[in-house]
Amino acid sequence: MTSEYQLWQKMLAECIGIFFLVFVGAGTAAMTLILNHGAPRYTTHDIGIGALGGSADWLAIGLAFAFAIMTMVYIFGHVSGAHINPAVTLALLVRGYIRGKEAVGYWVAQFIGAILGAFAIALVYGRAGWLIGGLGAPGPFPGVPLWRAATAECIGQFGLVLGVYGLAVNKKAPNGWAGLIIGLNIAGLIVLLGNVSGAAINPARTVGPIFADWVLGGADLWRIVPAYLIAQIVGALAAAWIYPIIADFTRASRTPSQTVIQPDDQIPVR
């Protein structure tokens, strides 16, 4: 199937989509820290103990991510597939649902959009955005070793990509529900994993706030990035491998395309 959109249009859609994912989702995490703050903070470590209190903090953050993802899927799904996550693009690349050249373009756009989204948080909240809110950058919580945070990221990414395959790739999925259910799936994962790893479960969402926070003189969290990215990639590839086995379908018989969310929310597969 030939797309009616050019690569630059798809890249722009991915860039804007992940911009709002970071701006709204990570921005809500930063806002929660600002509401909670006593002394300056540099990561999401104080979420869950003030403001809304307990897991309600993470519920608010998870729903913020869900609303942003749902909106971007329904706005840009017919243009780029609304991957807005480099690990999702990778999981679709290995199964032939996107070409290599397009995947590289998507990755460039996604990381640029995430970085711009993080700087937009700083623009809106000023110094408090990074000195107190850490721009919503993820990281292991106190007492959580890096390996355990990475394990949480791997499992979370596995669950996220399973949702994409089950709702946006499998032609037997119910029509019209992909954006809503994928968004709510991510919200649930964030509520569960937030107080372990910060629930990034997205390589660009991981790097964007960490990069912007570092540039603006906040925390240096680069040490966690390799472990997080490796874990997220492993989780995405595992889901791309196991879901087609469980659902008993093979690669699409059509020419590989970049599209994940089509107007009917499905990719034809046999």
Share of the chain above pLDDT 90, in %: 73
Domain boundaries, the chain: 7-247
User: Rounded to whole angstroms, what are the CA distances from 24 to 3, 28, 132, 139?
Assistant: 29, 6, 17, 18
- Report the pLDDT value the prediction gives residue 90, as an integer from 0 to 100: 97
Three-class DSSP labels, the chain = CCCCCCHHHHHHHHHHHHHHHHHHHHHHHHHHHHHHCCCCCCCCCCCCCCCCCCHHHHHHHHHHHHHHHHHHHHHHHHHHCCCCCHHHHHHHHCCCCCCHHHHHHHHHHHHHHHHHHHHHHHHHHCHHHHHCCHHHCCCCCCCCCHHHHHHHHHHHHHHHHHHHHHHHHCCCCCCCCHHHHHHHHHHHHHHHHHHHHCCCCCHHHHHHHHHHHHHCCCCCCHHHHHHHHHHHHHHHHHHHHHHHHHHCCCCCCCCCCCCCCCCCCCCCCC
Kindly indicate the confidence band of residue 267, based on its pLDDT and cuts at 50, 70 and 90. Answer: very low
- Report the pLDDT value the prediction gives residue 250, as an integer from 0 to 100: 56
Q: What is the CATH number of domain 7-247?
A: 1.20.1080.10
Mean pLDDT is lowest, of 63-67, 107-111, 120-124, 171-175, for 171-175
Mean pLDDT is lowest, of 163-177, 188-202, 209-223, for 163-177
Q: 54: left (phi > 0), else alpha (psi -120 to 50), else beta?
A: left
CA 76, 112, 60 angle in degrees (round to 5)? 65
- Report the pLDDT value the prediction gives residue 55, as an integer from 0 to 100: 76
- Report the pLDDT value the prediction gives residue 177, as an integer from 0 to 100: 86
